[in-house]
Amino acid sequence: MKIIKADRIITGDGSTVLPDGAVLIDGDRIKKVGTLEELQRIAPEAETEICDGCTLLPGLIDMHVHISGLYQRPEKAEMQANPAYLMLLVYKQLQDALSVGITTLRGVGEAKGIGEAVRKGYHKGYIKGPRYITCERSLTRTGGHGSTGEVAKIEVDGPWNLRQAVRNNFKEGADWIKVMNSHRDSMSEYTLEELCAVTDEVHRYHRKCAIHAGTYESVAYAVEAGFDTIEHGCFLDEELCAKAIEKGLAWVPTVFVYLNAADYMRRITPNPTKAEQRGIDFLDETVEAYYKNFLRNYKAGILMATGTDICFPEMFITPIYSEIETFVKLGLTPLEAIQCATENGAKILDMADEIGLVKEGLCADLLLVKGDPAERIEDVENVEQVYRAGELLVNNKR
Ligand SMILES: [Zn+2]
């Protein structure tokens, strides 16, 4: 058993800070949360680690990652031809995610077989990393978003073919289903009939589904069809949001990447073609929409969670600290933003009885940072230690 004592614990529930808090870890579980004296009385033999100047939080949850996404990566062709090479990138990116305190991530569109490989690698103890929930390959309509191969996709049309694709994905080990439903055009890529076939089929399995919906119509269709998480949802306005809340849908806005995408595109295409310029204009509109919708939707009560969705090859894969800091910049308190990266993700994943809080009985997925993110959110970047299921996997503490 082990006791970790920090200056404070941020429990992850959006409001609670326990000054001078300590946790007692027993195996993979948090056995008790209390004061150091209390815990030492319960477990006098436990090793005690005193972490002065530090804050303990739940391990972070990144709800939108493509751990095997290649996009415009220079090695794309080589990696697509050689899955063994791709797997090295996946391994590195899992370690990168862990290094910033992510102990759970959801892969929302991956190359074929990645989920199975990671799962087996973890099980055998070949590799260690964040727990990994996967949608496997996402579903896109013929010629739809992503069909050009940035991330592996299944091109599929029609209600029954979509139902079969859902079944196949589950057969191949998907935990969730991901559907692509928009790119830059205003239309919803799938019809409502097709989208409802997906949600119906997924929910018959008592599983959940995510949808890439970045334009107004695609968001409206996604809400109507009842997808469990709306990814991006840039144009989720007041009326659609009210409907989403009523249906119990959650929002993974992936704000940081969108707020930076237009500038990135301007940088890499200094002389844009007409089509490229349309893309840049679209991204500028999404920025405006986020500023208008983000805080109002949060305050209206939509369940919101952090997702990083980095698709620029030269950028760090999972800058969850940037997403959390952007949530604060847009009006959330630091504790609320941290809740979006912890408890809310756990709720959406139906894992709230396992992860997402520093709480007795839950899994010991913990992040120790130097400083106090409740006061200065940037301190969430100062990672000292990361525990997954009670095991110390990152240690920068001297
Ligand atoms: Zn994505």
Report all structural domains of the chain as residue ranges with CATH numbers, in order of start: 2-58+357-395 (2.30.40.10), 60-318 (3.20.20.140)
The pLDDT assigned to 198 comes to: 98
Q: Does position 226 have pLDDT exceeding 80, yes or no?
A: yes
Q: How confident is the model at residue 397 (pLDDT cuts 50, 70, 90)?
A: confident
Ligand 1 centroid vs 65 CA: distance in angstroms? 6
- The terminus-to-terminus CA distance of the chain in angstroms comes to 21
Q: Which of 130-134, 188-192, 260-264 shows the lowest mean pLDDT across its residues?
A: 260-264
Ligand 1 centroid vs 63 CA: distance in angstroms? 10
Ligand 1 centroid vs 370 CA: distance in angstroms? 31
Ligand 1 centroid vs 347 CA: distance in angstroms? 20
- Residue 55 near residue 7, CB atoms below 8 Å: yes
Ligand 1 centroid vs 66 CA: distance in angstroms? 6
The pLDDT assigned to 263 comes to: 86
The pLDDT assigned to 36 comes to: 97
Ligand 1 centroid vs 211 CA: distance in angstroms? 9
Ligand 1 centroid vs 229 CA: distance in angstroms? 12
Ligand 1 centroid vs 4 CA: distance in angstroms? 36
Q: With residue 102 as reference, give the H or E element that holds it.
A: strand 102-107
Ligand 1 centroid vs 69 CA: distance in angstroms? 9
Strand partners of residue 324? none
Write the burial class of residue 81 (CB in 10 Å: 0-12 exposed, 13-18 middle, 19+ buried). exposed
Q: Does position 8 have pLDDT exceeding 70, yes or no?
A: yes
Q: Does position 347 have pLDDT exceeding 70, yes or no?
A: yes
> What average pLDDT does this structure show over 35-60?
97
Ligand 1 centroid vs 8 CA: distance in angstroms? 34
- Tell me the chain's radius of gyration from C-alpha atoms: 21
Ligand 1 centroid vs 23 CA: distance in angstroms? 35
Ligand 1 centroid vs 108 CA: distance in angstroms? 6
Q: How confident is the model at residue 85 (pLDDT cuts 50, 70, 90)?
A: very high
Ligand 1 centroid vs 363 CA: distance in angstroms? 28
Ligand 1 centroid vs 310 CA: distance in angstroms? 8
* Closest of 334, 341, 258 to residue 293, by C-alpha: 258
Ligand 1 centroid vs 87 CA: distance in angstroms? 19
Ligand 1 centroid vs 147 CA: distance in angstroms? 13
The pLDDT assigned to 151 comes to: 65
Ligand 1 centroid vs 107 CA: distance in angstroms? 9
Q: Does position 10 have pLDDT exceeding 80, yes or no?
A: yes
Q: Does position 352 have pLDDT exceeding 70, yes or no?
A: yes
DSSP label of 59: P
- Residue 318 near residue 105, CB atoms below 8 Å: yes
Q: How confident is the model at residue 20 (pLDDT cuts 50, 70, 90)?
A: very high
The pLDDT assigned to 126 comes to: 96
The pLDDT assigned to 70 comes to: 86
Ligand 1 centroid vs 255 CA: distance in angstroms? 12
Q: Does position 186 have pLDDT exceeding 80, yes or no?
A: no
Q: How confident is the model at residue 393 (pLDDT cuts 50, 70, 90)?
A: very high
Q: Does position 145 have pLDDT exceeding 90, yes or no?
A: no
Ligand 1 centroid vs 305 CA: distance in angstroms? 14
Question: Which residues lie closer than 8 Å to 267 by C-beta, 6 or more apart?
Answer: none
Q: Does position 73 have pLDDT exceeding 90, yes or no?
A: no
Ligand 1 centroid vs 311 CA: distance in angstroms? 8
Q: What percent of the chain has pLDDT over 90?
A: 88
The pLDDT assigned to 98 comes to: 98
Q: Which pTM value belongs to this model?
A: 0.97
The pLDDT assigned to 150 comes to: 61
Q: Does position 279 have pLDDT exceeding 70, yes or no?
A: yes
Q: How confident is the model at residue 311 (pLDDT cuts 50, 70, 90)?
A: confident
The pLDDT assigned to 124 comes to: 97
Q: Which of 21-35, 40-54, 135-149 shows the lowest mean pLDDT across its residues?
A: 135-149
Tell me the pLDDT of the chain averaged across its residues.
95
Q: How confident is the model at residue 398 (pLDDT cuts 50, 70, 90)?
A: confident
Ligand 1 centroid vs 19 CA: distance in angstroms? 38
Question: Which residues lie closer than 8 Å to 252 by C-beta, 6 or more apart?
Answer: 63, 64, 210, 229, 230, 231, 232, 233, 304, 305, 306, 307
Ligand 1 centroid vs 281 CA: distance in angstroms? 20
Ligand 1 centroid vs 242 CA: distance in angstroms? 24
> What average pLDDT does this structure show over 151-155?
81
Pairwise CA distance, residues 221 & 219, whole Å: 5
